[in-house]
Amino acid sequence: MNLRLKLFTAFLALIIIPLFVLGIVTFLVTYYSIEEKYSQQAEYSLKAISYSITNVFNEMNNVTDNGIATAVFEMALSAKDPENQDLTDADQLNLNANQRNFRTLLYNHPAISYAFLYNFKGKGQSSIVSIFTKENFKTLPFDEFKKHPLYEQVMKLNGLPKWLAPHEYPELTGSEPVFTQIRLVKELSYFRNVGILVVQVKNWEFEKIFRNLKLSSNMQDTRFLLVNDEGLILYDHTGKLDSETIQSHMNHSVMFKSGYQSFRGKFDGQESIISVYHLKEYPWSLVSVASWHSLSQEIRVIAVWFIVITSICLLAAILFNLIFMNRITGYIGVIVRFMRKVEDGDLHVRVETKGNDELHLLAEGFNNLMDKMNQLFRQVKCEQDQKNKAELRVLQAQIKPHFLFNTLESINALAVQNEGKKVSQMVYRLASILRISIQGNEEITIIQELEHLNSYLEIQKFRFEDLFDYEIDIHKELYNHMILKLTLQPLVENSIQHGFEGIPYRGKIRITGYAESDRILLRIEDNGIGMSSEQLKVFQYMVSEEHEKANQERRGLGIRSVADRLRIHYGERYGLFICSHSGEGTIIQIVIPKYEWGGSRET
């Protein structure tokens, strides 16, 4: 994964995704807390409505209590009493005054739409005492009312009011949405039952309660219902569901029990929160129905804004990645590519610097580092060249006296034997060798190296005539190629001096050479005594003096000097490779670069 993708992934993982998760969690917590919060609010609202309704009923109870206490209802019944038809003028005037007082008492409460009395002593139509007239409404005859279940309930209450809601008993209260109070009227002197009062109250007060509630709260989209324990909708403040059953509009069964309950379900096919509060003193329940769509509208708006904000953040992240991250990571990528070029050996690369920020400082630092590295490499190369030249001079200084010592020793031996002709030939060969040795050039052509080797072998043949034979087989196309001088002679000398030491047979040395691709391979083979693995360890490249001092003169100096010179001069790819085994002879292979005089070599 590249840096650009890492940074973009980090931005998403550390900022965008946590922001998104936080928004989702907040949305879900808020979303699912709506029901709980609304349920609490609905409970307070329904309790407030219940309190207001109870106050309306209590106020009307106080009105009728006052009428009973002042004997207004009793006197109204007395006016229809058949036993009191023979009244004096004074009594009749007093009775009329009481009836007017009763009407005045009821008129002072405009919510009362109709009122009448059942007279226990009357018969037929005379048993009904009307206070107000009401069109299109026929009062239930008293004889039929006594057969009604409500009659027994009213009698058991013994003067306490019984309230009827709209649509519960239309045969008694009519079809209008009115609340009806029924109560027993007693004669105050002897507490005898004299009649039953029926008062109908308009729904103005109830409409005012719901209207004030909707204006003073955030429940404008809530529907309020009054339902009896059988599920009959007694009152709908919108007026649409009156006299219907609430179960026909719901997919959830409700048990109308005391207390408060709230649940989520469907009402008229719409997801809603339904709250139910049972009135304490009446067999009715207040029901509020709030649309879930309306309740969750605010949170949906928040969700939309959250999505918009998250999208803007994501777009900002993409733009940030495209504009800023691309520049940063692109510039870093350029530096990385240049560093890889440096790894491949190109030390001349430079990064283009622009701007004045940290990226400019990074590029400038890279360029300064490369300048210092080039400077150090040039310094190290110069010091290494000087060191190599010094080592070559030391090695050459070691080879020259070594070879001269052996050759002069051989001439001295011939002079002692009075071999003048051989001494002359050896001196001639030695002069030829010295001419090549004292040249200032470190490299000579292969043909010159072969002439030097041939002179040396002829000198050795004078010394050890019957010891060995030699053969030189090198292709002529290699003659003009270059070789480090004094390369072959020390190796051949090692074969003669140490390889043929003590052998009972005639030794043989074979020098061959051929080209292979961009290299030249020269091979020196002998059939001498060979070398063991311990002896071969002496010829390791640049071995320390502690490892070679025991055999330095015998086997270390000649071969190791040539090997070290080749490695120092040509590089690690070239040098000597020795293959030998005790009693089986030795093969020394020389690997040098292939190039002619005036050409360039590959290191």
Which positions ≥6 away from 185 have C-beta within 8 Å? Answer: 68, 73, 74, 77, 117, 159, 193, 194, 195, 196, 197
- pLDDT above 70 (res 80): no
- pLDDT above 60 (res 217): no
Contact (CB, 8 A) for 385 and 442: no
Contact (CB, 8 A) for 399 and 488: no
Sheet of 112-119, strands arranged across? 128-130, 112-119, 193-201, 179-186, 162-164
CATH number of 386-593: 3.30.565.10
Tell me the pLDDT band of 88, cut-offs 50, 70 and 90. low
Hey, which of 211-220, 326-335, 377-386 has the most confident mean pLDDT?
Answer: 377-386
pLDDT at 91: 54
Tell me the pLDDT band of 545, cut-offs 50, 70 and 90. very low
pLDDT average, residue stretch 3-24? 76
Tell me the pLDDT band of 548, cut-offs 50, 70 and 90. very low
Q: Report in angstroms the alpha-carbon separations of 421 from 226, 409, 418, 431, 458.
A: 152, 17, 9, 15, 13
Query: Residue with structure tokens 């001269």?
Result: 404
pLDDT at 68: 80
Contact (CB, 8 A) for 469 and 509: yes
pLDDT at 252: 78
pLDDT at 602: 59
What's the CA gap between 411 and 416, in Å, rounded?
9
Instruction: Give the number of other Cβ atoms within 10 Å of residue 303's Cβ.
Output: 17
pLDDT at 94: 59
- pLDDT above 60 (res 129): yes
- Closest CA relative to residue 444, chosen from 396, 502, 493, 486: 486
- pLDDT above 90 (res 520): yes
User: What are the structural domain ranges in the chain?
Assistant: 386-593
- pLDDT above 70 (res 482): yes
Query: pTM, whole model, 2 decimals?
Result: 0.50
- pLDDT above 80 (res 541): no
- pLDDT above 50 (res 48): yes
pLDDT average, residue stretch 399-424? 74
pLDDT at 551: 44
pLDDT at 411: 79
pLDDT at 483: 92
Q: Report in angstroms the alpha-carbon separations of 398 from 402, 449, 508, 574, 578.
A: 6, 18, 27, 22, 22
By mean pLDDT, which of 123-127, 250-254, 407-411, 587-591 is the weakest?
123-127
High-pLDDT (> 70) share of the chain, %: 82
How many helices and strands, by DSSP H and E, does the chain display? 18, 17
- pLDDT above 60 (res 490): yes
Q: Report in angstroms the alpha-carbon separations of 302 from 30, 86, 219, 308.
A: 10, 82, 20, 10
At 166, phi and psi to the nearest 5? Answer: -60, 145
Tell me the pLDDT band of 519, cut-offs 50, 70 and 90. very high
Tell me the pLDDT band of 306, cut-offs 50, 70 and 90. confident
What's the CA gap between 395 and 482, in Å, rounded?
19
Mean pLDDT of the chain: 79
pLDDT at 83: 44
What's the CA gap between 113 and 133, in Å, rounded?
9
SS3 197: strand
pLDDT at 540: 63
Query: Residue with structure tokens 């790819």?
Result: 573
Query: With 0-12 CB in 10 A as exposed, 13-18 as middle and 19+ as buried, what is 545?
Result: exposed
pLDDT average, residue stretch 32-60? 84
At 259, phi and psi to the nearest 5? Answer: 100, -160
- pLDDT above 50 (res 549): no
pLDDT at 553: 43
Per residue in 13-23, pLDDT (tens digit) is 877 788 778 77
Tokens representing residue 240 in the block = 């649409």
By mean pLDDT, which of 50-64, 95-109, 193-207, 238-252 is the weakest?
95-109
Instruction: Give the number of other Cβ atoms within 10 Å of residue 253's Cβ.
Output: 8
Per residue in 317-359, pLDDT (tens digit) is 778 777 777 777 777 777 778 888 887 777 777 877 776 777 7
- Closest CA relative to residue 238, chosen from 211, 274, 215, 217: 211
Query: Residue with structure tokens 């000649």?
Result: 558
Instruction: Give the rounded distance of the alpha carbon of 537 from its chain centre.
Output: 62
Half-sphere exposure of 371 (CA within 13 A, CB side): 8
Instruction: Give the number of other Cβ atoms within 10 Å of residue 57's Cβ.
Output: 19
Amino acid symbol at 303: A
What's the CA gap between 4 and 332, in Å, rounded?
10
Tell me the pLDDT band of 297, cut-offs 50, 70 and 90. confident
pLDDT at 90: 60
- pLDDT above 70 (res 103): no
DSSP state of 24: H
pLDDT at 547: 45
pLDDT average, residue stretch 398-413? 69
Instruction: Give the number of other Cβ atoms within 10 Å of residue 600's Cβ.
Output: 7
Q: Report in angstroms the alpha-carbon separations of 95 from 129, 144, 199, 291.
A: 14, 29, 21, 57
Contact (CB, 8 A) for 318 and 9: no
SS3 229: coil
By mean pLDDT, which of 139-153, 292-306, 381-395, 588-602 is the weakest?
381-395
Tell me the pLDDT band of 300, cut-offs 50, 70 and 90. confident
- pLDDT above 80 (res 603): no
Segments of 202-301 assigned E as strands: 222-228, 233-236, 260-267, 270-278, 284-291
What's the CA gap between 451 and 447, in Å, rounded?
6
pLDDT at 49: 86
Which positions ≥6 away from 584 have C-beta within 8 Å? Answer: 530
Tell me the pLDDT band of 3, cut-offs 50, 70 and 90. low
- pLDDT above 90 (res 525): yes
pLDDT at 556: 46
What's the CA gap between 200 and 166, in Å, rounded?
10
Query: Angle formed by the axes of helices 420-437 and 358-416, to 10°?
Result: 170
- pLDDT above 70 (res 105): no
Tokens representing residue 73 in the block = 């209802």
Per residue in 92-101, pLDDT (tens digit) is 565 566 556 6
Amino acid symbol at 431: A
- Closest CA relative to residue 153, chosen from 93, 110, 196: 196
CA dihedral (448, 452, 453, 455) in degrees, to 10, reads 130
Tokens representing residue 110 in the block = 């405009």
